[in-house]
Structure formats: structure tokens, C-alpha cells
Amino acid sequence: MTLVTGGAGYIGSHVVRLLAERRERVVIVDDLSTGSLARVPDVPFVHLDLAGEDAEGALRQVLSDHGVTSVMHFAARKQVGESVTFPTRYFGCNVGGMTNLLSAMEAVGVRELVFSSSAAVYGETTGPAVIDEQVPCRPVNPYGQSKLIGEWMTQNAAAAWGLRAADLRYFNVAGTGWPDLADTVATNLVPIVVEAALAAQPVTVFGTDWPTSDGTCVRDFIHVLDLAEAHIAALDHVRSGSPIGARVFNLGTGTGSSVLDVVDAVRVCSGIEIRTLDAPRRPGDPASVVADPSHANVVLGWRASRTLDDIAGSAWRAAIARHTLAA
């Protein structure tokens, strides 16, 4: 039995669906602050704020009652700008929730964990454009700091009581595996461009003079279904009797796409001409950030297979379906 925290959310629900396809037994814990039960019908569900009062005791009960042997931990706040405005809230939720979860796992004897971390732990990278797991972590906002603290916590738990963990550092996640599981919050560039196309509004481009092929920032966009499949591979890895410890993995494609590449991909799949509005560079934006996923390729036997066109097409089709239903 696997506990999936945040399993009613965007990424978590994709993983839950893949687990269900493997006929695995799953229980979800979610506070539904951003998740929806419509994404995960017929899956055992416990409504719980992991950082709330008495959450550790409630988690112990869930682990015991359901015979949980492994945990996949997605539940967290994840908006960078919001974390700067409300840092205490972010540490309370992300670090407090992790504290309660690990305490409950230790008490019940659950020693397998897949942790949703982030490439935000790297911060403003000044080294190579392609980032491997050896690049020093210097997060520059409370969100990234809270994720790095979570990784430290898994490492300490491994040393103290034998946790086996995979800490997965996501790059830019987008797209959808199924329209009903689409991301409904337009904070990533892909849904921002999709919504702009639907509303016939321009897309703001922050800097057109970067040292890249077309002058706009380059990022590594990974399809959410590739990401979900990586979680399944990571779960299999920690279940397989891997050495005690917390291993870190970048999850990306190894290929960069510029802002204008994303705009063009949405233009092609939608058939809509999308205007852009040039704006000054944003402070702290690196020119190019691309994952080196070779560690995950080798150790987990996983490799991203979907393209930017796949991402844009899936996001566009889901948005059209959502708008059609709302009409």
C-alpha cells in the first residue's frame, strides 16, 4: 500500500492514475487547497493538512490503518512569488508537513519515500547551463529553501533510522496526460501562453537580449506524464532494496526550449497567431537552465520521451475541453 500526499493535485493525480493502472493499492492524504477529488474518484481519501495540529498522530493512524509500506510526498505550497511574500507560511507548511510525515513514518516503521523536490534548490546558477546534481545548491527564495531543507531531512532520517528515499528535483513541468488531470493554475509558461491564445492577449517576454539562440530565456520543459513515470521508477528503486540513504535525481529532458519556442509550439497546435510583448529582464532570471538527467537515466532506468510539441498539444486540448464544458 502506498500513501500519496497531495494525491488530488496536478502531479500527484497523474502518479495515482499510473499506480492504479498497475493495480497498486493507494490511499491519498490531501487538504484540497489546490487539489480536487474529481481527479481521483474511487481512491481511498483522508482530508488532512499535514502541517496542522495533531497531523502527526493522524498520519500515524493512516499509515497503520491502511498498512502503508511506502510514501510519495507531493503535498506542499509551490508558488515562488507567494513564498517571498509569505515565507513563514511556506516554512510552516513545507517543512512542518515534512516533519510530521517523517515522524509518523519513523514511529510506524515505514522506510520508503519518494520526495517531490525542485530545481529551485539550485537558485541563480552561474555555472554550466546544463545542471547536474553536483551543482551547489543556493536557493534564493523561501520555496526553494523549504525544498532543500526537505532533502536535508530525508538525509538525516536515512542516517538516523534507515530511510530509503529518492529526492526528485523537478525542472519545468507542463502538459497533461489526460484532460481531466490538467493543471488549472496558469503559473507555468505553457499554460500562460495557452490562456493568452484563448483570450487573444499578448504574451509578455521578459528580455529579448539574452545570450541564447533567439534572445529569450531557455528552460527545460518536461511533460507531466514523463515526470509521473519517473516517480514510478523511483518508487520501484526505493522498494528494490537500494542502499539506505537519500539519493537525489534531476528530472528533466536535457533539452532546452526558449520562451519563443513555447509560443511557437502553442501557435502550431492551436492555429492561433500569438502576439508577444517585450519587457525588461527580470532580476535573478538566468539565461538558460537545462537539466542533466543522466543520473536518473542510469540509476532509475527512466528517460523522458515526450517533446515540447507533445506538452503544448496536450495543454491546448485540455484547455479547449475545459472552456467547452464551462460554456
Burial environment of residue 82 by CB neighbours within 10 A (0 to 12, 13 to 18, 19 or more): middle
Give the whole-angstrom CA distance, residue 262 versus residue 260: 5
Q: Which residue has the cell 488549472?
A: 184
Quote the strand ranges of 6-159, DSSP E.
26-30, 45-47, 70-73, 112-118, 130-131
The DSSP output letter for 292 is: -
Q: Which residues contact 237 (CB under 8 A, 6 or more apart)?
A: 166, 299, 300
Longest dimension (CA), the chain: 57
The 10 Å Cβ neighbour count of residue 327 is 5
Give the whole-angstrom CA distance, residue 302 versus residue 16: 18
Give the whole-angstrom CA distance, residue 17 versus residue 102: 25
C-alpha cell at 249: 535525481
Nearest to 315 by CA among 209, 181, 200: 181
Give the whole-angstrom CA distance, residue 162 versus residue 104: 14
Give the whole-angstrom CA distance, residue 231 versus residue 167: 10
Quote the strand ranges of the chain, DSSP E.
2-5, 26-30, 45-47, 70-73, 112-118, 130-131, 164-170, 172-174, 203-206, 218-219, 221-223, 245-251, 257-258, 276-279, 288-291
Active centre residues (catalytic):
143
